[in-house]
Structure 1
Amino acid sequence: MSNSALQPPVHSEELKVEFPAEHVLLLTFNRPKSLNAMTPRMTNDLQNVLDWFEAEPQLWVAIVTGAGRIFCAGADLKAWNNDQQQDKTDEQERIAADVHGFGSLSRRQSTKPIIAAVHGGAYGGGMEILLNCDIVVVSEGAKFALPEVKRGVVAIQGGIPRIAQIAGHQLASELLLLGRTIDAAEAQKRFGFVNQIVPPSKVLPAALAVAKQIISNSPDAVQSTKEGLLMSQQLNFHQTLLANVGSAASTRVYKGENIKEGLKAFSEKRAPLWKNPAKL
């Protein structure tokens, strides 16, 4: 199946869906005049498209980016307030029931790699999204903050545990309790959640280059490895090992065609020709 044959779910103009390379999905938050602030509609679009991405064997990696001068400024408070006035659901209940988190991304436990391509910076929920991505590529001069405490709310959609895991308690406290803004260099060198810093014009090309490096590897092995990374966030060393090796994704690795192709290609000194992973 070629990328042209892929048919994503119907979605609004608030989300762009593209396929910039074979096996790669590109999602662009498309509210540049509102700094890509997240609305209930965009969240619904993301949930539907990402659920489809998870189940589509042809797609192996996703890139998430934002149109215009910033990745995502957080929630569109006016849109969320209007939606809540109609919904009447208790906010705490809504957050607890929302298994995928802010923008259907900040708590999503995808076994496929997700790359954040960040122009300008990310704030609040937008930063919670990138903290849950596997690789983060940002523009020079980008700014980041979890300013929720300044607004009387909490970075509860995944930001608290993820920054604590990445940066450690004290550095996480500096961001979460002060709500301070940091730049790209500090995000990379001191807090550790940025992989690459590139000129603004190079952000998407750099993210796509990373995606192509990932898809040069066995998709079976990549997805089993990603699953192991997710397990390691919740389990100890021994539990992670046993859970990972006993999983359906691991069985697919060792019983599937791609491991045979990888070993054969190595012995024949050529690049492997990977097949789409079998559905689990």
Structure 2
Amino acid sequence: MPCLQPPKHSDQIKVAFPVDHALLLTFNRPKSLNAMTPQMTEDLKALLDWFEEEPELWVVIVTGEGRVFCAGADLKAWNTDQQKGRSNEQEDVAANVHGFASLSRRSSTKPIIAAVRGGAYGGGMEILLNCDLVIAADDASFALPEVKRGVMAIQGGIPRLAYSAGHQLASEMLLLGKTIDAMDARNRFGFVNTVVPASQVIPTAIATAQQIIANSPDAVQATKLGLLLAQKHNVSEAMMTHTWSAHSKQVYKGANIKEGLKAFAEKRAPKWTNPKL
């Protein structure tokens, strides 16, 4: 893979390329439990916008440095704004099209993997609910405790949790502000894919990314589009919109479909090329 040059960013986000075609973004405020700052959000927006446009990158992994994935918003700063009458939450939420940390409502056709060690709370939980795959440590915990602080999970977490868990289980977390463990998150609530020891979270996330990368990037991105459309339309509308999309055209008219079928006929591994939408 050629040398990639990510956009400028602060040391609050660490950037790495663990394997070809994969980007690893690490929230880097461990002493503050990776609570999100405006600078982190600005960095993440720049990096993720770049990721979306960079054809060499096919998958992104997001994780947190230290003992917590992300504790959500910086409530001390929020309190200061609220007490001084400087808060404009409704306007801010509506204006931020990609949601909390530029992630919780981002509609990317490239797969996003969350690698969770420690815990994910509030906005941190809303981030991972918008990820395609979630790898969690066996000692991880999850909560949407906003109601305990007089606020709410407004950045996309409510409908996504209801979609994955169903109304009653979602209510258990949202109305009680209840904290759950990794096994509950996987077995009852359904938003965690894999539970592993903490030391294996990042290696497992990278191995999962490699499984995605082994597939045609054209087909993966078009399939991800189909998943996004399924959240917005009924079956017939989603199917027709997907069929006539630019991503579907790329799958059926691009080079990778020819390579995939030829490799199957020749009994060898395919050699994929970057998508060209």
- TM-score, normalised with respect to structure 1: 0.96
Shift of 1:90: 2.3
Shift of 1:121: 1.4
Indicate which of 206, 229, 236 corresponds to 1:208.
206
Q: Name the structure 1 match of 2:124.
A: 126
Does residue 117 of structure 1 match 2:118?
Answer: no
Q: Name the structure 2 match of 1:173.
A: 171
Q: Name the structure 2 match of 1:250.
A: 248
**Distance across 2 between alignment mates of 1:273 and 1:185:** 37
**Distance across 1 between alignment mates of 2:85 and 2:40:** 17
Gaps of 5+ in 2: none
Q: How does 1:1-280 map to 2 (within 5 A)?
A: 1-2=1-2, 5-80=3-78, 88=86, 90-278=88-276, 280=277
Q: Could you tell me which amino acid in structure 2 is paired with residue 239 of structure 1? A: E
SS of 1:52's equivalent in the other structure is helix
The CA RMSD measured in Å over matched residues stands at 1.5
Aligned length: 277
**Distance across 1 between alignment mates of 2:91 and 2:142:** 28
Contact 2:81 2:87 in 1 (8 A): no
Contact 1:40 1:80 in 2 (8 A): no
**Distance across 2 between alignment mates of 1:141 and 1:83:** 34
SS of 1:64's equivalent in the other structure is strand
Q: Could you tell me which amino acid in structure 1 is paired with residue 167 of structure 2? A: H
Deviations 1:25-77 (A, max 9, x none): 00000000001010010000000000000000000000000000110011112
Shift of 1:91: 1.6
Shift of 1:78: 3.0
Deviations 1:132-152 (A, max 9, x none): 000000001111000000000
Contact 1:40 1:79 in 2 (8 A): no
Shift of 1:87: 11
Q: 1:187 to 1:262 in 2, by over 3 A?
A: same
Contact 2:105 2:155 in 1 (8 A): yes
Q: Could you tell me which amino acid in structure 1 is paired with residue 121 of structure 2? A: Y
**Distance across 1 between alignment mates of 2:204 and 2:11:** 25
SS of 2:98's equivalent in the other structure is coil
SS of 1:21's equivalent in the other structure is coil
Q: 1:21 to 1:120 in 2, by over 3 A?
A: same
Gaps of 5+ in 1: none
What percentage of residue pairs aligned between the two structures are identical? 70
- TM-score, normalised with respect to structure 2: 0.97
Q: 1:58 to 1:87 in 2, by over 3 A?
A: farther
